[in-house]
Amino acid sequence: MSNSATRIIIAVTGASGSIYADDLIERLLCSDSNVTEIAIVRSKNAMQVWAHELQKSWPGHDKIAYFDSHDFNAPFASGSSKWDAMVVIPASMGTVARIAHGISDELITRTADVFLKERRSLIICPRESPMSPIHLSNLLSLSQMGALIMPASPSFYAPATDIKQLVGSITQRIIDHLGISQEHTYRWGEQ
């Protein structure tokens, strides 16, 4: 992506790892970038997993709009929309499979389908281990279609002292791929 993304969709599925979505949203809101809108689409299972794992409310902010997972009237459900990027974080293997096979049965999969067909920035952050050959095949298919696959696998070369810093090693890389500048990012070979 050559320019900074200004309108970003964060899709949260029911995979474990709500902390990744929470950290990404927080970093986007705190960045000094030109992010003007953040649309958050949550699956029904994402709501339950978020409550269980994080035990806190979803963030509120004037840049954030929430969309029901079955709201096909959302502006980004059409290829004529002008949203810049979509991040599916954490991505369940069921959602990955439906996206890879063009099954647009709810807003997350429909929007990912739009982003693939329009050749827009789509980042998928799977959270599963181990992965079966079916999972790997679906992820390979999505990569070949143009999606960027970024497994939620933290780096350990940065001097992390807590889980939030490990999570940040993933969300910072996502923000890099969105073309958004960020300060205080540890990079390999830099001090």
Question: Mean pLDDT across the chain, nearest whole number?
Answer: 92
**pLDDT at residue 18, rounded to an integer:** 98
Query: Residue 157 — very low, low, confident or very high, per pLDDT cuts 50/70/90?
Result: confident
- Residue 60 three-state SS: coil
Residue 177 contacts residue 27 (beta carbons within 8 Å):
no
pLDDT higher than 70, residue 3: no
d(CA 185, CA 30): 14
User: pLDDT tens digits, residue range 93-146?
Assistant: 999 999 999 999 999 999 999 999 999 999 999 999 999 999 999 999 999 999
* Element spanning 116, H or E: helix 107-117
Domain boundaries, the chain: 7-177
Least confident segment among 6-10, 28-32, 187-191: 187-191
How far is CA 149 from each of CA 25, 51, 54, 90, 137, rounded to the nearest angstrom? 19, 26, 24, 11, 12
Predicted confidence (pLDDT) at residue 155 exceeds the cutoff of 90: no
All residues at 6 or more sequence positions from 83 whose CB lies less than 8 Å from its CB, including other chains: 7, 8, 9, 37, 39, 75, 76, 120
Hey, what amino acid is at 104?
A: S
Q: Does domain 7-177 have CATH number 3.30.420.40?
A: no
Using alpha carbons only, what angle is made at residue 14 by residues 135 and 53, rounded to the nearest 5 degrees? Answer: 125
Q: Is pLDDT of 190 > 80? A: no
Q: Is a pLDDT exceeding 60 seen at residue 191?
A: no
In the chain, the percentage of residues whose pLDDT exceeds 70 is 92
- Which residue spans within 96-186 are E strands per DSSP? 121-126, 148-149
Reading the block at residue 150, the tokens are 């970024």
Residues 6+ apart with CB under 8 A from 156: 166
